[in-house]
Amino acid sequence: MTLGHGEINNLAVGGPARHIPVLLAPVLEGLSPQANKLYIDGTFGAGGYTRALLETGARVLAFDRDPDAIAAGQALVQESQGRLILAAARFSEMQKIAEQHGLSGFDGITLDIGVSSMQIDEAERGFSFRKEGPLDMRMEQSGPSAADIVNEMPEEELANLIYKYGEERASRRVARCIANDRKTTPFTTTRQLAEMIARILPTKPTEIHPATRTFQALRIAVNDELGELSKALIAAEQMLKPGGRLAIVTFHSLEDRIVKTFLSERSGRGRAPSRLLPGEPVPPATKFQLIGRQPIIPSDEEMRTNPRARSAKLRVAERTDAPISATPAKRS
């Protein structure tokens, strides 16, 4: 399959979106998409970003690791007149998949990190502590689940995981209670785990649900979300042509810290402009130039109309003409 140059013709690609893409206008402004240019949407979801890119006449290589999203996106593939390839793969594999399709020299790459609203809304996927469902959380619907981690991971490791990925100060208390309860009754549902956490970590009505951080930690661990993000950033550096744009939307501090650190290092932010000392190595050429003030956050209006946007942050950078690193992006 190739990405052709079909007519734009006011595409109604994929029908109405099932959720509102976060920071869509700033992402498009950052990418500056143009007809027949080549872009990657690393997190297809309901197709919001991809749809907007296609409507500019652009060509898109999109990725999603969720089989449900791939199935739902086939209508968009059919209606895009050959300008969309939708790959069932992790976005960390974007370089390998692009090569398989004979594609290179991308003009823009966008990623919307984290779980989609469709996954949260579907109780049977087990992402939400507010809905009764199996304790699953697997984006790919395969491999070890959240229940496997909760019921099998040693208590100390579980406490460290909840603290590291959920930033939960009471991680040891949560892990201790999980380890005690699972001896007699293994955890199998979202409500079972959420109610246990709520029982041991009471909160005020104005505070977030006490299970929020633990569920976040489990989801990140099950899907290796932070590792996937790090690999995708390296791949994007390899794949963007000079002048190509990278636009990444994150939803919590762990993700944003990875993106911010990567772009700061690659753009030379904070690097002293003074002359080098004798014997001091020449710093590597900057691979990215930051675009505008960072980060970009949603407007008050967007946060009112789309509550999912409240914690979102967008960072945009442009690839310089510095040579690509000799170290290839790690592939799975």
At 186, which CATH number? 1.10.150.170
- Residue 2 falls inside a structural domain: no
Residue 12 forms part of a structural domain: no
In a domain, 3, yes or no: no
Kindly give the confidence (pLDDT) of every residue in the chain, 332 residues in length, as a single tens digit, with 9 standing for 90 and above: 446 444 333 333 333 335 678 999 999 999 999 999 999 999 999 999 999 999 999 999 999 999 989 999 999 999 999 999 999 999 999 999 999 999 999 999 999 986 666 555 565 665 677 778 999 989 888 899 999 999 999 999 999 999 999 999 999 999 999 999 999 999 999 999 999 999 999 887 778 899 999 999 999 999 999 999 999 999 999 999 999 999 999 999 999 999 999 999 999 876 655 566 666 666 678 999 999 999 999 999 999 998 888 899 999 999 999 987 654 444 44
**Residue that has been written with the tokens 């399959």 in this structure:** 1
**Domains: count for the chain:** 2
Give dist(CA 293, CA 250) in Å, integer. Answer: 16
Query: What is the domain extent for residue 134?
Result: 121-223
Question: 65 in a domain, yes or no?
Answer: yes
Q: Is residue 186 one of the residues assigned to a domain?
A: yes
Q: What is the CATH number of the domain that holds 94?
A: 3.40.50.150
Q: Is the separation of the CB atoms in 256 and 226 below 8 Å? A: no
* HSE-CB of 233 using CA atoms within 13 angstroms: 26
**Which of 223, 242, 258 is the last residue in one of the domains?**
223
The CA-based dihedral angle spanning residues 141, 144, 147, 151, taken in that order and rounded to the nearest 10 degrees: 170
pTM for the model: 0.85
Residues 6+ away with beta carbon under 8 Å from 237? 266, 287, 288, 319, 324, 325, 329
Q: Are 169 and 242 in contact (CB under 8 A)?
A: no
